Amino acid sequence: MPTDHIQYQYKPDNLAASEPNKFKPENLRSEEMIVNLGPQHPSTHGVLRLEVLMDGELIHDVVPHLGYLHRCFEKHAENLPYNQVIPFVDRMDYVAAMNSEHVYAMGVERMLGIADQIPKRVEYVRVLMAELNRMASHFIAIGTYGMDMGAFTPFFWIMRDREHILRLLEWASGARLLYNYIWIGGLFYDLPVGFEEKCSEFITYIKPKLKELENLLVENDIFIRRTANVGVLPLNLAVNYGVTGPMLRASGLRFDLRKVDGYSVYPELEFNVPIGEGLKGTVGDCWDRTWVRMQEIHESVKLVEQCLTKLQGEHRRTKEFNPQAMVPKKIRPQAQDFYIRGETPKGELGFFFRADGKTDVPFRCKGRSCCFSNLSVLPEISRGILIADLIAIIGSVDMVMGEVDR
């Protein structure tokens, strides 16, 4: 063994930075400093890096830096058939994969012209799964947000109740998080025998638990003091930044694509669209965003109950029913540009397709991320606040970095 060895010296100038800093040390005013929050920090809810310009604890400006969790979704989609893209759709918003699958499958079905031929039982199963997943996503949002604010008990309660949803989804699809269950033209498989009854039992169980959660966290005086009148997002600013989902509705606009576009069987179901009302502070603050998500869980419970009634009634399972009857063997849409959008737990998820009409591989498939648009407004509502309030604002956005970076 040779005794001499080469010593490598750390040279910052030779390292390729993912993105240059916006603020330069030489341009700082007296008492100003630059603080990097993340990308490895629990309060950033993923690998999000925030470059924060501060004066003591007072924030002057915030710059989000992305690119630490690039999923390569759009590049994968350019090299795979339409049906094989669905597992990569799952990995964008990986806590609400059923909702993302639903939107993607609807888009390809409309391009193929088979959207009107999908059996009603398939549509009700899709909405059932999407609403269960919406509840699970909001559970994560509210539970982790409470932990950001220093409340640990609600997180443990929520994860206990979310486990029931994950077990139901695993029973139907075989996976707890990334499902590949909603296929183009149908489903991977029909609901297991007894699923409807177990799901009904869960709904009966969860209703009183939701009331307990509201009393423990949302109506908690300390939580209200930390979130009311903090991170107020005015409606005109939200619209101009393309903010959607609970963040937009918390600012006072009753805009929900399940109502506006009326896709799938949502027009046949009854549910309300909650909006921020400023009950504890100002319309569009962090508390309103949490309250809207809490109310949406109640509405999802109503939707699940109605789907179960349909699936056990006029659209009950039969021996003749085949959830893959409309799944096309060859997926080759005509040459066209097409955009589809749907309401996921975090807002409007859209897919832009460009088909050349010659192959079963999309020429282009671009994802419109609601998390990306919602995150873009962060600097506007974070100037002039304290660093502790910045943590409250980040948690109220409810983003998943897999969808932000795509």
Determine the pLDDT at residue 10: 45
Q: How many helices (H) and strands (E) does the chain have?
A: 14, 8
What CA–CA distance (Å, rounded) separates 162 from 140?
A: 8
Determine the pLDDT at residue 14: 46
What CA–CA distance (Å, rounded) separates 366 from 337?
A: 11
What's the number of CA atoms in the CB half-sphere (13 Å) around residue 389? 24
What CA–CA distance (Å, rounded) separates 82 from 53?
A: 44
17: part of which helix (H) or strand (E)? none
DSSP 219-259: T-HHHHHHHTTSS---HHHHHHTT--THHHHHTT----HHH
Q: What residues are paired with 354 via a beta bridge?
A: 337, 364
> Does residue 38 contact residue 49 with C-beta atoms inside 8 Å?
yes
3-state DSSP assignment of residue 359: coil
Instruction: Give the chain's domains with CATH numbers.
Output: 73-405 (1.10.645.10)
Residue ranges in 65-215 assigned as alpha helix (H): 73-77, 86-90, 97-112, 120-148, 153-173, 195-213
Q: DSSP state, 273?
A: -
Determine the pLDDT at residue 18: 55
pTM (2 d.p.): 0.92
Closest CA to 179 of 130, 139, 140, 141: 130
Determine the pLDDT at residue 192: 93
What CA–CA distance (Å, rounded) separates 365 from 76?
A: 9
- Residue given tokens 């888009």 in the structure block: 107
Beta-strand relationship, 186-187 and 336-344: unpaired
Determine the pLDDT at residue 20: 75
Handedness of CA 85, 243, 98, 264 (dihedral sign): negative
SS (H, E, C) 30-63: CCEEEEEECCCCHHHCCCCEEEEEEECCEEEEEE
187: part of which helix (H) or strand (E)? strand 186-187
pLDDT in tens, the chain (406 residues): 454 555 545 455 544 455 677 777 767 777 888 888 878 877 888 888 899 998 888 999 999 988 888 888 999 999 999 999 999 999 999 999 999 999 999 999 999 999 999 999 999 999 999 999 999 999 999 999 999 898 899 999 999 999 999 999 999 999 999 999 999 999 999 999 999 999 999 999 999 999 999 999 999 999 999 999 999 999 999 999 999 999 999 999 999 999 999 999 999 999 999 999 999 889 999 999 999 999 999 999 999 999 999 999 889 998 888 888 889 988 999 999 999 999 999 999 999 999 999 999 999 999 999 999 999 999 999 999 999 899 999 999 998 988 998 8
305: part of which helix (H) or strand (E)? helix 286-311
> Does residue 227 contact residue 285 with C-beta atoms inside 8 Å?
yes
Question: Rounded to an integer, what is the distance from CA 367 to the centroid of its chain?
Answer: 13
